[in-house]
Chain A
Amino acid sequence: AQSVTQLDSQVPVFEEAPVELRCNYSSSVSVYLFWYVQYPNQGLQLLLKYLSGSTLVKGINGFEAEFNKSQTSFHLSKPSVHISDTAEYFCAVTPYGGATNKLIFGTGTLLAVQP
């Protein structure tokens, strides 16, 4: 079985400051990793994904994430945030090569960007 832990339920940050949202996972098999963003009153949108290859993954809106297998982490970061980045961010995993199509989500981190 897999599980995802997002260590921070809320991250307040000032505009133009850097931010890192933390994600750790637990799995007995290899996994694919994802970050989704949910803007207020909207559904989830895929921000970026790690399937294989380079451990540094770039996504939309200037976000990137680094897969660290030894630390079982997939932290999301952005060097300079904007007010419009205020949203909830979800880390998710799915087993590599498994028959399931399930996404297992973390509980989410609310990024609150202040002027």
Chain B
Amino acid sequence: DAGVIQSPRHEVTEMGQEVTLRCKPISGHDYLFWYRQTMMRGLELLIYFNNNVPIDDSGMPEDRFSAKMPNASFSTLKIQPSEPRDSAVYFCASSLGPRVETQYFGPGTRLLVL
């Protein structure tokens, strides 16, 4: 299996632009997680899905952030409009079942908002 796939790996954009991050979970996994990693706050869970349904989005920082999972093999995290403080590494993870220790992480998308 190719593991969790994220694209793009790097994104540089200007403040105010829309940013879309993409994730393909491991085939057969029914949970998908989006995390954000910053120097100040470390790793934070933003949102997670079970069977394509958002279960907990309490970590989403504000309305500028939205996440969707239209099918079992694809999810997006969108920031509109982007701000410099959104600069971070965004990780996607997937798991088969709810056991957290079974989460497999993608390589991350490094986002820089100028």
- Whether A44 pairs with B45 at a CB distance below 8 angstroms is no
**Interface mask (A25-53 → B, CB under 8 Å = 1, otherwise 0):** 00000001010000001111110010100
B4 interface residue (CB < 8 Å to A): yes
Instruction: Give the residues in chain A near B55, CB-CB below 8 Å.
Output: 101
Choose, from B14-22, B61-69, B70-78, B103-111, the stretch at the interface: B103-111
A28 smallest CB distance to B (angstroms): 18
Interface size, B (range):
20 to 34
- Whether A32 pairs with B56 at a CB distance below 8 angstroms is no
Bound Cα distance A15, B45 (Å) = 34
User: Hey, which bits of chain B sit against chain A, CB under 8 A?
Assistant: 4, 31, 33, 41-45, 48, 55-56, 91, 93, 95, 98, 100-101, 103-108
Q: Which 3 interchain pairs have the tightest Cβ spacing? A: A43-B105, A107-B42, A105-B43
- Interface CB pairs A-B, < 8 A, 20: A32-B101, A34-B100, A42-B107, A42-B108, A43-B93, A43-B105, A43-B107, A44-B93, A45-B105, A46-B103, A90-B42, A101-B95, A101-B98, A102-B45, A102-B100, A103-B43, A103-B45, A105-B42, A105-B44, A108-B42
